[in-house]
Amino acid sequence: MTMKRFAIGLIVAVVLPAAICRTAAGGQVTLDKSQVKKVFNTQPDKLQYEKIRPRYPDTVEGQWALAEWCRERRLLTQRETHLKRIIELEPDHAQARRALGYSQIDGRWVTRKQVMIERGYKFYKGRWRTSQEIELMENKRKVESARKEWAQKLKRWRNWLTGERAAQGRANILAIEDPYAVEALTRNLTGDRLPQARLLYIEALAKIGTAEAAKTLATCSLEDPVEEVRLTCLDHLQQERNPDVVAYYVGKLRDKDNRVVNLAAVGLSRMKDPSAVRPLIDALVTTHKYKVNNRGGPGSVTTTFGTGPGGSGAPGGLSVGGGPKIIIRQLANQPVLDALVALSGQNFNFDRRAWKCWYASQKRRDTLDARRD
């Protein structure tokens, strides 16, 4: 016996290892599971609907009654069919209109979709959005896609640098001009252990020349462990003299790490921006706190600007029980002084008071010159 002979008028229930088939007349046939090719899961309510549908007249009242019958049994697709037929018969039938999602605005029935479209909205990614919002989302998607693509390319070309395709890999990296590559270049610059590779990323970032690229070069000029890499960053930044880079270096004059303070001063010296003079005066002598454990290992804690006229100052110590000590030291920063001399043409050594007096006189002179003009 095959399933074809029972394809019409049967409800099939699979009960392992057999299938029980009930006929429309109430009979029952048991089949081996291997004889069943497909199980038709027909809901009783749907079967009942097909039976009673012809009994309801094609009138507003009849269609409404059938729509309500469908609603009670959650036959939503069938209900919608009869609601639509109602408004064909009676366009202003309020209950059917509202059940279909219509609202009456200015004397006309409209759906929410119509209202949103008329207001300039579009349905995009599960919500109604303005064209501007959609454009921003699309642009963001394109940017993310482009950045991922550059990350893949850069990873591939970086792998070439240690193989037979090294020359091609270098050429490809040096040819990058797309601003969307900055994120991948930045990640590689901070994570690649090979200085020669980092120098390639720096060249590419300098060629791109965006504000984001400049920020990466400025960060690298302070944080990279290799002097050649740091100086290469400065060479490129010096050509642009970006005010944002100057502001970044000025902020780093307050860093808790004295090494960073001095590297920032070197950067400001190369930028040749006179607005850096006053912050450099404040950073001539900085006070640092170091935590020294019982084994003598120091760790920088904080940095403040010194108040004395100069000199390294005598170290002080603050004992914390029998554990680590906090040692306070004033450090005279020679690179800061060098930067001040380069920018001002003056040299008062580490005498901060003399530097401040000179700076105040310069400001007064500038004010008088401006008034004469």
Per-residue pLDDT of 52-97, as tens digits, reads 999 999 999 999 999 999 999 999 999 999 999 999 999 999 999 9
State how far the alpha carbon of 146 is from the alpha carbons of 150, 179, 346, in Å: 6, 10, 50
Question: Is residue 286 one of the residues assigned to a domain?
Answer: yes
76 with 100: CB under 8 angstroms?
Answer: no
Question: Is residue 262 one of the residues assigned to a domain?
Answer: no
Q: Label residue 307 by pLDDT band (50, 70, 90).
A: very low
Helix or strand holding residue 291 (H, E): strand 285-292
Question: Is residue 138 one of the residues assigned to a domain?
Answer: yes
Residue 33 has pLDDT above 70, yes or no: no
Question: Is residue 120 one of the residues assigned to a domain?
Answer: no
Which of 105, 139, 156 is the C-terminal boundary of a domain? 105
**Does one domain contain both 278 and 373?**
yes
Task: Give the chain's domain count.
Answer: 3
pLDDT digits (tens, 9 = 90+) for 255-298: 999 999 999 999 999 999 999 999 999 999 999 888 877 555 55
Residue 222 has pLDDT above 80, yes or no: yes
Tokens of 143: 């940017």
Ramachandran angles phi, psi of 105, nearest 5°:
-125, 125
169 with 160: CB under 8 angstroms?
Answer: yes
Question: Is residue 160 one of the residues assigned to a domain?
Answer: yes
**Does one domain contain both 137 and 85?**
no
**Does one domain contain both 212 and 307?**
no
User: What is the reported pLDDT for 292?
Assistant: 79
**Does one domain contain both 279 and 365?**
yes
**Does one domain contain both 150 and 94?**
no
The average pLDDT across 355-369 equals 83
| Single pTM value for the model | 0.65
What is the sign of the dihedral through the CA atoms of 220, 222, 225 and 229?
Answer: positive
Question: Is residue 112 one of the residues assigned to a domain?
Answer: no
Provide the percentage of residues in the chain whose pLDDT is more than 70: 79
- Domain CATH number, residue 33: 1.25.40
Which of 71, 105, 139 is the C-terminal boundary of a domain? 105
User: What is the reported pLDDT for 36?
Assistant: 66
Question: Is residue 114 one of the residues assigned to a domain?
Answer: no
**Does one domain contain both 372 and 289?**
yes
Burial class (CB in 10 A: 0-12, 13-18, 19+), 199: middle
Question: Is residue 59 one of the residues assigned to a domain?
Answer: yes
Which of 189, 216, 240 is the C-terminal boundary of a domain? 240
**Does one domain contain both 75 and 143?**
no
Of residues 37 and 268, more confidently modeled: 268
**Does one domain contain both 149 and 86?**
no
**Does one domain contain both 97 and 149?**
no
**Does one domain contain both 75 and 139?**
no
State which residues form the domain around 213.
131-240
- Domain CATH number, residue 218: 1.25.10
**Does one domain contain both 136 and 236?**
yes
SS3 201: helix
**Does one domain contain both 150 and 58?**
no
